[in-house]
Structure 1
Amino acid sequence: MTVAVHDQRPFEPKLAAVTLLGSGMIALGVFLSGFVMSEPAPYELIMAVQIAVWFLLGLTLSRTTGLLLAMLLVFNVGGLLAITVMKDMSEGPMYAAVSIFLALSSVFYAAVIENRHQRLTLIFKAWVAAAIITALLGILGYFHAFPGAGAFTRYDRAMGAFQDPNVFGPYLVAPILYLMHRLLTDRLIKSPLPIAGLLVLVLGVFLSFSRAAWGLLAFSGLMLIVVMLLKERTAAFRMKILVLSITALVLMAIALAIALQSEQVSNLFTTRAKLVQDYDGAHMGRFQRHKIGFLLSMERPLGIGPMQLGHMFGEDEHNIWLKSLTTYGWLGFATYLIMIGWTLAAGFRYLLRERPWQPFLMIGWIVILGHCLIGNVIDTDHWRHFYLLLGIVWGCIGLEQRHQRQLRLAQHA
């Protein structure tokens, strides 16, 4: 009996072209995350289309990514329930729609990363490119380098192509860690480009005058060095880290000293460098609103609805834990705690394993941990890059679990 064999090679170029196009769309989506000056932004439009197309064309979810989807859906069910208690529901549906979209974007990133780990490099390169461009816009805007440059600042603070300096600054931190990792692991001959990129991004973070961004950068940079020292224990690597770290600190000190020669920079830095501002500790300031908001939430199992605390007290929550209580109720708050705890625990478990995706897991995990810390004084709920980080970490967790299953199958073969 003769079996007909069909040659599939003619279709391989088509498959490669589709794969390339898909990866390009992912990179474009990540790149556009750095340009959100109005809503809906191009990021939402591009991501909404490609999420739908990818899943219609057969992108599947593993049990790992399905778990992330389940937690995010329960979280958003809490948000939908909170809308039902609002007297004026006009703002609720749009807020809920954005929350659900961002949740789906996180699941999408996790799925495409788990499908092909090489996309991690593409994602971070697109993120670095967007970060450098938006940082340059913020820097040029701060110094009023061209007519209309003020559009990239707010309250004399750089904000790039964002709506808020407090989102702009933290957005730059993960790309900074990526360039730091390259600087520490590549040969010195390749260092000029990462150094140039780092100078632009660090200056962007500084000129955002965001205390949360400053703290996030300091914490994340230190954590990256600590984790890399734990992973790479050779004397030569440790010496390289020590020399580069000391050099970076000296250069940053010199750059800061030069920047402070400007009266505008010096005055704003002096004001913003205070750990507790007047609007933090004053009567009905940020910390008192946190206390009142938590006490109020204990009486409202379903929450009070999105942006309602801001209407009551003139300022929003500025605390992600309080935000999850007021906007998503007890159900959303509990789910958010479980999701963040699971993310950090599972990521930590795989943090030091020698894998192609380990550097990206390390960066994503560190920056998420940093966001949890700054979340005590700032609201990260609708930050697009936070959901990207969540997808990166869960995509890497999925890759590791699939790798473990393959090892077990090989052992029993």
Structure 2
Amino acid sequence: MSTVRPAQRGLLFLGCLLAFVRWEPAPYDLFLIIIFLLYARGLTWKSYQLVFVVLLGPLLFTHVPALGAALEVAPERTLYYSLVTLYLALSSVFFMSLPERSVPLLLLGYEVGALLSGLLGVLAFLRIPGLEDLLWGGSRAVAFFKDPNVFGAFLIPALFLALARLEQGRKFWILPALILFLGVLVSLSRGAWANFAVALLAWWLLRPRKRIWLPLVLLTLAGGVGISVVVMPDNPIVQRLGFMPYDKERFFTQMEALSLALTQPLGYGPGLSEIHLSYATHNTYVRFLAEVGWLGLFFWLLILGTSLIWSLYQGLKQQSFRHEVYFVSLLGIAVESLVIDTLHWRHLWLLLGLVWARHAPPLPHHPR
């Protein structure tokens, strides 16, 4: 018992550290090693969790054929990229094996870190003195992330956890939910906005009668955007709604990557898109296809699809409200992956691990 409590407090801190990833290696990565050592003896796996591990193995193995040629082109880059993928995959296996009582603390830490990030991002966007470094390009909120797209997407799972707490009658969580929503908004990330819209629609469809207020919220948001277009056509949020000058280059690069995938079915090597192409792919699926090959993309889609199905089953049939959050969050990321490279997002692999983790029975006051 003497090692369990410090480890649980450590998980709370680890969740908070997910919001501070501007540096490499991030404090989160270093602290994760300590947490793993604290939990190493108590890790156990259930038989159903083998599904995820069995799918993860071939996904990692598909990197091997592409590594041969890639090591001749850029050995340091491709090894680093592959090792990061391996590290994140192993981190998801670790999270999957956590004891049931530890998951809520990890998620609470995530919520605290996201809330702090969202608040700082909103304050920076409002030009509060001293917070200028928390803006990307002088206009988009990024907090302690390197990219506003990651910042916006990171807040979304915490936002749905806050909505779940509201459903449990905890009215205070309306304020954190509002801050997190504003954080997503001021990231000025079209990918994060699409992520949130898809996740919110899925959240409503899971419990349409219990969440009948959500369509009204969506209509209000759409109306607010429409009014802002007319009243303030030059505001930064409206400007981000349309196509940007660099979008054509992104689409051209994706077509270029698809053409290379036809001639190199095993891929040209992990992490080498920026070398073989004129621009980053900004599409996780195209990047997987071009770098690791058709089999790599197949197993990635299989992992995502299986995890989505399992989280949906646990949410609806086993009444796990956390799995409802995992489902809509992963679905949103899956959609955002069409326009952003998401493979190395730490919170994506955290969600994948938690989908397969053991969970507590539903709370008695959670509405159904």
- The alignment's TM-score, normalised by the length of structure 2, stands at 0.88
1:51–1:105: 8 Å Cα contact kept in structure 2? no
Aligned positions, number: 358
Q: How does 1:10-89 map to 2 (within 5 A)?
A: 15=1, 17-55=2-40, 57-86=41-70, 87-89=73-75
Q: Which amino acid aligns with 2:109?
A: A
Structure (1 or 2) with the larger CA radius of gyration = 1
Answer with 291-300 or 198-207: which moved more. 291-300
CA distance in 1, matches of 2:230, 2:111: 27
Whichever residue aligns with residue 144 of structure 1, its letter is R
Q: How does 1:243-392 map to 2 (within 5 A)?
A: 243=213, 246=216, 250=220, 266-274=234-242, 276-280=243-247, 282=248, 285-355=249-319, 358-392=320-354
Residue from 185, 189, 197 that aligns with 1:210: 189
The corresponding residue for 1:153 is 135
Contact 2:8 2:102 (8 Å CA) reproduced: yes
> Is 1:105 matched with 2:105?
no
Is the contact between residue 360 and residue 392 of structure 1 (CA under 8 Å) also seen in structure 2? no
Q: Give the gaps of 5 or more residues in structure 1.
A: 1-14, 401-413
Counterpart residue number, 1:8: none
Q: Secondary structure at the match of 1:315?
A: coil
What is the Cα deviation at residue 371 of structure 1?
Answer: 1.2
Alignment partner, residue 128 of structure 1: 111
Q: Contact 1:75 / 1:328 at 8 angstroms: preserved in 2?
A: no
Which residue of 1 is the match for residue 124 of structure 2?
141
State the distance in 1 between where 2:176 and 2:132 align.
23
Residue pair 2:11, 2:109 contacting (<8 A) in 1 also: no
What is aligned with 2:167?
Answer: 184
**Structure 1 residue 30: deviation in Å?**
1.6
Give the conservation status (yes or no) of the 8 Å contact 2:153–2:184: yes
Say what the alpha-carbon RMSD is for the aligned residues. 2.7
CA distance in 2, matches of 1:164, 1:247: 28
Equivalent residue for 1:165, pick from 138, 145, 148: 148
**AA in 2 matched with 1:277:** M
Distance 1:202-1:261 versus aligned 2 partners, 3 A rule: farther
Q: 1:230-266: CA deviations, max 9, x gaps?
A: xxx5xxxx4xx44576468658966997899888xx4
- More moved, 219-228 vs 201-210: 219-228
Which amino acid counterpart does residue 328 of structure 1 have in structure 2? Answer: V
Between 346-355 and 154-163, the greater mean CA deviation after superposition: 346-355
Amino acid in the other structure paired with 2:335 = L
Amino acid at match of 1:129: V
CA separation of 1:176 and 1:226: change in aligned 2, threshold 3 A: same
Q: Residues 399 and 103 from structure 1, CA distance in 2 versus in 1: closer, same or farther, beyond 3 angstroms? A: farther
Residue 63 of structure 1 and its aligned partner are, at CA, apart by 2.7
- What letter is aligned with 2:162? L
CA distance in 2, matches of 1:143, 1:79: 44
**Residues 254, 289 of structure 1: CA spacing in aligned structure 2 closer, same or farther, 3 A cutoff?**
closer
Please state how far the C-alpha of 1:18 moved relative to its aligned partner: 2.4
Q: Give the aligned partner of residue 197 of structure 1.
A: 176
Q: Supply the distance in 2 between the matched residues of 1:244 and 1:217 (Cα, whole angstroms).
A: 13
* 2:332 partner amino acid: G
CA contact (8 A) 1:85 1:302 kept: no
1:150 partner letter = E
| Greater alpha carbon shift after TM alignment, 374-383 vs 310-319 | 310-319
Change (3 A) 1:335 1:248: closer
SS of equivalent to 1:93: helix
Deviation at 1:44, TM superposition (A): 0.5
Cα distance, 1:19–1:262 mapped onto 2, change above 3 Å: farther
1:330 shift after superposition: 3.1
Render the CA deviation track for 1:267-295: whole Å, top value 9, x for unaligned: 32232101x33322x3xx21222122112
1:222 to 201, 206, 209: 201
What is the rounded CA distance, in whole Å, between the counterparts of 1:161 and 1:127 in structure 2?
A: 14
Task: Give the C-alpha shift of residue 363 in structure 1.
Answer: 0.7
**Any unmatched runs of 5+ in structure 2?**
362-368
Rounded to whole Å, the distance in 2 between the matches of 1:376 and 1:201 is 23
Distance in 1 between residues matched to 2:179 and 2:222, nearest whole Å: 12
Residues 58 and 157 (structure 1 numbering): CA distance in 2 closer, same or farther, change over 3 Å?
same
